[in-house]
A and B are shown apart, each in its own frame.
Chain A
């Protein structure tokens, strides 16, 4: 047992009036000194009363406390005070421990409220989004219908334009537009008789050449329209253009016609330029001899 524990027990015995004679006299002597024993004894007494109030005392000590303190009004009051203070402190502790639980519940409810609020807000927000999407959907439906109607109209217009284009192409002296992969060759022909076929300009055609442009040079002018035809020396007609109404022929530039390369037979061919007068009669303006050579 430690000295402190010995001391504590001695002080408690003194307070209970159960100290052995020598021990009591020694403590009486200390109490008479201008020291701190009184405080020590009072603290020991309070500890004793608090232990009694808490029910911590063993039966013997409890009996001694009751014998002393229950015997007098002042003693009972001291015991009552110790019990009251103990109860008040216990209530305080219970309250302090309850606060976190309350705070926890409050926090939980706050979270639920916040979560619920968030869900409500989210719901409202989603409803707003749905409304906006419905409006957009209706707008898109209307717009789709408009676009479909426009598409139909455009297709009709495209078909009409295509028809017009084909018509124009058919009537064009240049003939049909070449395909993207087409290869076009141009040959400039000048009018005049040639001594023989060997002296005529040559047009070499390969399989890759799909279109041929003939630029017919001529000094003729004043006709309402022109027509170009391609013939063999024997008079067989291979191709004939629609009437061409060109602007005034520029000096140094000829009349250009485009015709499929397949039109050309190998050998000597003659291109004939005819003009329609204002009276409606047709006159041969010039002819052009060329020699066609096929390779590949």
Chain B
């Protein structure tokens, strides 16, 4: 599903999200991101497209002259998102069933995830190198250990940094998002290179 928002429709969306255009643009990104996660956590196959579908529907209603009187405009977006999700439930179920079939059919799904992990590890090393040493050290310490030891470690780290554990959690979330985006970009570039080297096989899936 491609985004079909034109400039006028986009401007109306921003007006809905707030009088200040910059703040509204920021809020737009936040809402879209939330919607993507909303669909992801419901097991939808293409969450980004579904989020764009929500934005598209709201913009269309605005263009049709519908007045949206909501104390929290973002709530309106999520209302539309639930409708979209219900509409796609059958598709999702089909997707999950198909995925399960794929998992069962796949000769060795563990091998595939292992291969992806190895590739991600190489990219992670590269992306970590771009972080300042103290940040890199913080990330690696934060994700060490397991269970209660990990909890203790993180509490200790927060105390060392003189911040609340919750603040540290959010800071690490942002750092992880940056790293994950970097690794994802790295994997994409590698995939393009690998695809360029790999001879084309007739009938091979390109998804």
Contacts and interface: CB of A to CB of B under 8 A. Distances in A.
Interface of A: 14-17, 28-29, 31-34, 38-39, 41-43, 45-46, 50, 54, 56, 66-68, 70-73, 75-81, 83-90, 92-93
B125 A88 contact: yes
Nearest to A42: B173
Nearest to A75: B40
Contact of A72 (B45, B74, B141, B183): B45
B84 interface: no
Interface in B46-80: 72, 74-75, 77-79
Interface in B82-119: 82, 95-96, 99-100, 102-103, 109, 112-113, 116-117, 119
Contacts of B79: 32
Rank and list the top 8 A-B pairs by shortest CB-CB distance, nearest first.
Answer: A71-B99, A80-B116, A32-B78, A84-B120, A32-B75, A89-B143, A84-B121, A92-B140
A90 B184 CA distance: 21
Contact of A70 (B42, B77, B113, B170): B113
Interface of B: 27, 30, 33-34, 37-38, 40-43, 45, 72, 74-75, 77-79, 82, 95-96, 99-100, 102-103, 109, 112-113, 116-117, 119-121, 123-125, 128, 139-147, 169-170, 173, 176, 179-180, 183-184, 187, 207
Given A46-B173, A79-B113, A71 B45 contact: yes
B143 A77 contact: no
B118 to A, nearest CB: 8
A83 B120 contact: yes
A67 B124 contact: no
Q: Is the interface of A mostly helix, strand, loop or mixed?
A: helix
A16 B103 CA distance: 18
Nearest to A44: B41
A33 to B, nearest CB: 6
Contacts of B140: 88-89, 92-93
Given A46-B176, A77-B116, A88-B125, A34 B72 contact: yes
A235 B100 CA distance: 165
B58 to A, nearest CB: 13
19 contacts: A14-B41, A16-B41, A31-B78, A32-B74, A34-B74, A39-B170, A43-B170, A46-B176, A71-B96, A76-B116, A77-B116, A78-B180, A79-B113, A79-B117, A80-B113, A84-B121, A85-B176, A88-B125, A90-B144
Contact of A81 (B33, B100, B144, B183): B183
